[in-house]
Structure 1
Amino acid sequence: MADVGGAGRMGDGALWRELARPAFLRSSLPWRAAGYLLASGVVGLLFGAGLLVAVTVAGVLAVLVVGLPLLGALALVGLPFAAWERWLVRLLDGRPVPDPHRVPGRPGLAAWLRLRYRERVTWRELGFAGLAAVVLWPIDLVVAGFALAVPGYLLAALPLLLLDGEQVNLLKLWQVHSPVVAAGLGVVGLVALPLLAYPVTAVAAGRATVVRLVLSPGGQELRIGELVSSRARLVDAFEAERRRIERDLHDGAQQRLVALSMTLGLASLDAPPGGPLAARLAQAQHEAGETLASLRELINGIHPRVLTDRGLPDACVDAADRSPVPVDVVFDLPGRLPAPVESAGYFVVSEALANISKHSGAGHALVEGRYADGLLTIEVSDDGRGGAAPGGGTGLTGLADRVSVVEGTLTVSSPPGGPTLLRVEIPCLPLSTPPTGSA
């Protein structure tokens, strides 16, 4: 091994392969292995002592009930200990150990705790922390201490004897009086030091392998993480594509239709009034106007410009203005929200208003939106006949799917006879700066 630089390129089993290389003893790996075992042993000892005290105190206080939250909190002690172990292994072989924990879908301590208690890796980390606190730290300290202390004592025998002038107690077991014997022991220590580098590194490699097996993401966790990441990428790509199509239609086809309608209007002015040509030009201009209106509705259905420029409240007001049922819109938001969240919220409101006008028989509807504790809540209610249910042609299943993509939930209360209440909750954080293209 060419020294530390090779550690960053180590793959699985590389530590074991390094033991067989001629340059092993000239590398820094034996010293890193000894340091790794010393650090893990000392921290394991301190962690075990602290854990014993905490469990004892929590067990005593549990009789008075106040210790129960502490017992629950002790289930999470494996998280910081596992983070330390993953960092320490990286110092040994240069390869990072991925963090298997998922990011909570919504901000806040409660969401974080719920997710952590449900994850299997949390309990694996707790088990490994208990193993390290009881079993591993003595092994680490004994191996590292023996490999460093014994050669160190042997090498120091002659200097200590010369300083004392009479004798030296070697390892507290053997009294040495002869400088020749002390020098011979120093030679033995000099030979033992590189020889002991092999078992020390082997033990460190074995321990690092255990850490990677237990504290790295499992196959299911990797798949879940990749699915979450890929879904987020797909959502972003889908929203970007919708905005591109909306922009192309708005700036391209719509402008051409406006120009065509104006050209037909000018042509009708030059046509003989009352003649067949004037009638046909008027009909063509009317058809162009109808097509333009349909195109505008299509653009609004793809991604309304007002949503991009002015945000969710104004977009919902625009949707309410186009509804045949009178709609009141009330929003209380701290600012702009992430584009996928605004898009999901808008299309839920738009589809809900379309359902109200088609199926509910309502005389009035209300759209309310608010943001609190990292959660966007949108409620759409009406005074119609009720009875809305998934699979009934109302598109509720599609709305639920759209909301779930941004980690949100959709609930509907619609008893027969009404009223109907549709609620959407989406975890998100406000943007510190407006999205690109906003006013």
Structure 2
Amino acid sequence: MYPRTAWQAMAQRPLSFLTSSWPWRSLAYLATGVVVGAAAVAVFVTGLVAGLLLLVVLVGVAPLVGVVLSSNTVATVERYRLRLVDRDEMPNPHRPPDGAGFRAWMSTRLTEQVTWRELGFALVSAAALWWLDLLVLAFSFGLPVLTFEALQDRTTWPWAVFGVIVLLASPYTVTSWAGARAALTRTFLAPRDGELGESLREVQASRVRLIDSFDAERVRIERDLHDGAQQRLVSLGMMLGLMRLDIPEGSPLAAQLTAAEEQLSTAHQELRSLIRGLNPPVLADHGLVAAVQDHASRFPVPVTVDLQLPGRLPRQLETNVYYLINEAMTNIARHSGAKSAKIHGRYHADVLVLEITDDGHGGAEPSAGSGLTGLADRLTALEGRMRVSSPVGGPTLLHVEIPCHFA
């Protein structure tokens, strides 16, 4: 799968990373960060100075309010620039104004928590982040230039060697800071609970209801198969057994009856396997860990399960996580060509962290029907997130984080 963030790109093989666009995207991110930061400093300083000088006649309130609202523009630009090194979408958390006109717009913005969070980010960016961008660029490219100029003096050749090393490492230096800066930006500017638009919240709620209805329908189908089709197969087996009592041994009809019993046994086993997959009893009786281990024991690819949880998850969440893991394992069997896989899971600070790895050929792409889109949809309904590292040639790592609480 194509990396979604700068840090994911760095996890690729060195040749894949160095020949990709990510080092250049990271360079553009930091270079534009210097420009945006310098412009923000100029606007903030001008607004603060004008506001403080005019505050004595109360006119200075307008420039100070302008400084606060200008942080909205800085945040908008930052969300746009973030696409260079973080492809995960970040919705705009601002709600529509409560009325028409500039006054209603200004009143809405000044009463939103996100506006003040954006102001805090703009101040941090103006005071420190763009300086750090400039420092990283100067170290990665300015320092090598200075050391190369020192070649005129043959006694300083070790510094030139150091400059070459710094220049060769610059793709990793620039990309690593770009990834860290992007993570900090997302922490400040990503929407919080309650800041998403009403329509977007309804879409998320409808997706949760849809998955819940699928789960309920799956339970109903499992119950109907168990109480209906499976019982009829058992009755049919008994009828065939009674028929055998009336048929002489060695007759052609006896051979046909034996073949029919074998087909019936195979169908019964397949139906039992289907029912177990729809609503495994081990999940309800013994929990997620036992259910995953049971499924892995019957999986065509050898799977090592290292899943440790402090207790039982809520039933609905437990079911969803189980089928999420099943779907990921199915993707491995169908698409990866792997010879082995591993499921690792731990619970940290109200977050269930899962890592599913395989030694297959990699190159997982959602557009190729790898099933990653279905995983992403299920995780969205669970308010979780996922990262995929799947360079061509493998291995593939699926990292999943799901917020949850144990009883």
After TM superposition, the score normalised by the length of structure 1 is 0.47
If you compute each CA radius of gyration, which structure gives the higher value, 1 or 2? 1
After TM superposition, the score normalised by the length of structure 2 is 0.50
Which one scores higher on RCO, CA 8 angstroms, separation ≥ 6? 2
